[in-house]
Amino acid sequence: MNDPYTLHTLPNGLRIVIERMPEVNSAAAGFLARTGARDEVPELAGVSHFLEHMCFKGTAKRDWQQTSVDFDKLGSIYNAFTSADRTFYYGWVPKRSIRDQIEIVADMMRPALPEEEFATEKNVILEEIAMAKDSIDHVAFDFVLEKVFEGHPLAWPVLGYDTTVTDLTRDQMHAYFEKRYAADNMMLIVAGNVDPAEIIATAEDLCGHWKPAESKGERKTPEIRTGVANRVVDRFNQQVIAMNFPGPGAGDPLSETADVAASILGGGNSRFFWNIVQSGLSPSAGCFRFDLGDCGLTILTAQTDADVDGVEKLADALREEARDICHNKVRPEEVQRVKNKRRTGLAVEGESPYHRLVQIMDDADYRGAPRTVEQRLADVEAVSVDSVAEFFERYPIDRDGFLIGVGPREWPNCG
């Protein structure tokens, strides 16, 4: 099988990763900036996400209206997102328009940060923060990170805080941009029916003049804390329970097994669904992973009303399921069911340049090199009853982690 990938690095350090998909009629391209909440200092919490918004608000070449119009002229499906450790901008177009698509997004990577738009967008961000405070799931997740990663930049929310966003200046954002959006801290990823030589030539033309960073700064791997904490929020009627444990990072060899294990325990048609939701203990219970390149969490979570007996029964049920899956091997049919679903998902995503774009981004950033769909399927196939047992042996969830409650009741007791 011919290698579908072309890997290239410009003299300024910009990495280019291209996957050829000759059987499709479209192409997707995205710029990854390896920056997010974990790269911020406390007084600038939220600047990465705010900067993502500002990249859509005008450049030296286009104002924000023209950027939107130019995307639409191409028929582009475009967007961006910011996470704890990266920001990604992308567009998906017919294959004939891929150069024009890359040009627009590359232009956005050098934003003008106009003062008037900065002031307007600040209000948009503050509204986002206010909306997040109205979601108990959002409040609970931010509280989990705040406590589990206390003392580390991962402890603050991607959106930042009212105070830090309000006080942020345009000059502070520009200084952050200059450091974090340097050529050697970025990656151009392209997937679809493309000519790699043309993509590289386009990148050299559009991005070859970008400057590398003098110093990007080293990321510090966080300590994952244990303990008990609660946050009383009177406006909610439900109580959220979250039990948090160390897990593998995204590049760990057990990462695929960890996904399968989480799905068996708390995904669709899972043990939580049958033994907790269907038993009436909770309308919603799940197990999911929070994983970055160098660390990860396994999070068990559920909701119930604020009755103290109901909360305690729900917590006991979560603990019981955690003990059972750690001490007794999962059934082969459970593993097979999750693997079958995962195979279908990979097959569908493998036909979409956009989904391949995101998968390649994950692999190139966290693993150092992309995996083909076939390689991903092989990693799924390698998951077994024994590898799930190995996962829970290395990353047990039947002991003290960090127990968190969010809602109207002061639970758990932190005394």
C-alpha torsion angle, residues 49, 52, 53, 55 (rounded to 10): 160
DSSP 149: T
232 within domain boundaries: yes
What is the rounded distance in angstroms from the CA atom of residue 150 to the CA atom of residue 148? 6
Chain mean position to CA 90? 15
- Indicate if 268 and 401 belong to the same structural domain: yes
Consecutive H or E run containing 263: helix 255-266
Q: What is the CATH number of the domain that holds 161?
A: 3.30.830.10
- Indicate if 200 and 253 belong to the same structural domain: no
**φ, ψ of residue 177 in degrees (nearest 5):** -60, -50
What is the rounded distance in angstroms from the CA atom of residue 378 to the CA atom of residue 343? 10
Please tell me whether the overall predicted TM-score, pTM, comes out greater than 0.75 for this model. Answer: yes
125 within domain boundaries: yes
- Indicate if 187 and 58 belong to the same structural domain: yes
What is the rounded distance in angstroms from the CA atom of residue 307 to the CA atom of residue 295? 35
- Indicate if 276 and 318 belong to the same structural domain: yes
- Indicate if 114 and 69 belong to the same structural domain: yes
214 within domain boundaries: no
Last residue of a domain, one of 207, 241, 265: 207
- Indicate if 339 and 269 belong to the same structural domain: yes
Would you give per-residue pLDDT tens digits along the chain (415 residues)? Answer: 578 999 999 999 999 999 999 999 999 999 999 999 999 999 999 999 999 999 999 999 999 999 999 999 999 999 999 999 999 999 999 999 999 999 999 999 999 999 999 999 999 999 999 999 999 999 999 999 999 999 999 999 999 999 999 999 999 999 999 999 999 999 999 999 999 999 999 999 999 999 999 776 789 999 999 999 999 999 999 999 999 999 999 999 999 999 999 999 999 999 999 999 999 999 999 999 999 999 999 999 999 998 878 999 999 999 999 999 999 999 999 999 999 999 999 999 999 999 999 999 999 999 999 999 999 999 999 999 999 999 999 999 999 899 999 999 999 988 6
- Indicate if 194 and 272 belong to the same structural domain: no
* Residues of the domain holding 260: 227-407
| Tokens at 189, concatenated | 């990823």
